[in-house]
Amino acid sequence: MNDGSDRPVGRRKFLKTAGQGAAAVATAGVAGGGMHAAATKPSTGTREKNKVQYGMLIDLRRCIGCQACTVACKAEADVPMGVARSWVEYVEKGLYPNAGRTFLPRLCNHCSEPHCVRVCPTGATYERPQDGLIVIDQGVCIGCLYCAHACPYDMRFLNPVTRFADKCDMCIHRVSKGLVPSCVNTCQGRARIFGDVNDPNSEIHKLIAKNPVSVIRETYGTQPNVYYIGLDTTDENTKKPGQYVRVTTNKAKSPKRT
């Protein structure tokens, strides 16, 4: 996402934008960032248009950072202590009185060009042809964690119980029966929309078409299928001089965002 396109938004502009209603506030972020990315649709590249591709849209304007999704995921997938498949990061930015906090729910992006699949030496990680979800065949995986290094989103981990690679599987056991993933089911703010992004009649397709959306780390070319409305791309490492930014990942193990 750091293609040099996020320009600093001055305080004046920020205040002006803030006056234009809740939607604009969230889109501009607390102090800018991601404006350009939000204005253009993420590139679709080699994506096939005529197949089912499940994805998620997270409307950050509606997320309240309650972590209910994190807990639901933990319970649903029986994720062991110390690791997480899904979490919500807190991004605090700016100085009083222009300080604010935004939330960034994270999950596997079920990328259309997934690096994790490319590097897997056994073929254990693969894309399901029927719905485009990226899953791990636990009967084949050797737990080498090559995929975990390759994922630019740090979504994969070694499951301490099974000793195989693990990550969000978009609740395939639920979605294949027509239900929505557990995090979507539980979301308090109805910030998470799940569906087939290629189906023109689906809610997610319509919302993506209607709203400025962006994806995380688009420059890695992974073509994520998790979209965000109002994504703020500022990071502790890429903040403007003098800007205050603190990111709390709330992720189980790695204290740094990698």
Partner 1 sequence: MEQHLMWHWPVIGYLFLAGVGAGAIAVSGIVVLWGPAGEFRHRAALVARLGAYIGPLPALVGSALLIFELGRPYRALNLLTSNFWFMVLNPSPMNWGSWFILLFGVFTTVYALSFLPWRTLLGGEWGERLAARGERVRSPMAVVCVPLAIAMAIYTAILLAAIPARPLWHTPVLWLLFTVSAISTGLSAIILVQRFMFRKPGAVRGAVRREDPAFRVTEYYLVSMKVLLIIAELVVIGLFFMFAHMTINSANFAVQVLLPGGELATTFWVGVILVGLLMPAFIEGFYLLRTAVLGHEFEWPYVINVSAPIAILFGGLMLRYVIVVGGQITGPVGI
Q: Count the helix, strand and coil residues of the chain and give each as a percent rounded to the nearest 5.
A: 25, 20, 60
Does 237 bind partner 1 (CB under 8 A)? Our answer is yes
Per DSSP, the three-state class of 220 is: helix
Per DSSP, the three-state class of 117 is: helix
* Residues 207-226: x where in contact with ligand SF4 by CB under 6 A, - otherwise, as a string: ---------------x----
Q: Of these partners, partner 1, ligand SF4, none, which one is at the site of residue 118 (CB under 5 to 8 Å by kind)?
A: partner 1
Does 193 bind ligand SF4 (CB under 6 A)? Our answer is no
* Residues 133-152: x where in contact with ligand SF4 by CB under 6 A, - otherwise, as a string: -x-x----xxxxxxx---x-
**Residue whose tokens read 């502009």:** 13
- In the Cβ-directed half-sphere of 55, how many Cα atoms lie within 13 Å? 27
Residues 54 and 175: beta-carbon distance below 8 Å: yes
- Structure-block tokens of residue 53: 């591709």
| Nearest distance, CB of residue 235 and partner 1, angstroms | 5
Sign of CA dihedral 120, 124, 129, 133: negative
Angstrom distance (rounded) from CA 219 to CA 3: 7
| Nearest distance, CB of residue 155 and ligand SF4, angstroms | 4
Q: Of these partners, ligand SF4, partner 1, none, which one is at the site of residue 74 (CB under 5 to 8 Å by kind)?
A: none
Residues making contact with ligand SF4 (CB under 6 A): 63-69, 88, 103, 105, 108-111, 114-116, 120, 122, 124-125, 134, 136, 141-147, 151, 153, 155-156, 164-165, 167, 186-189, 191-192, 222
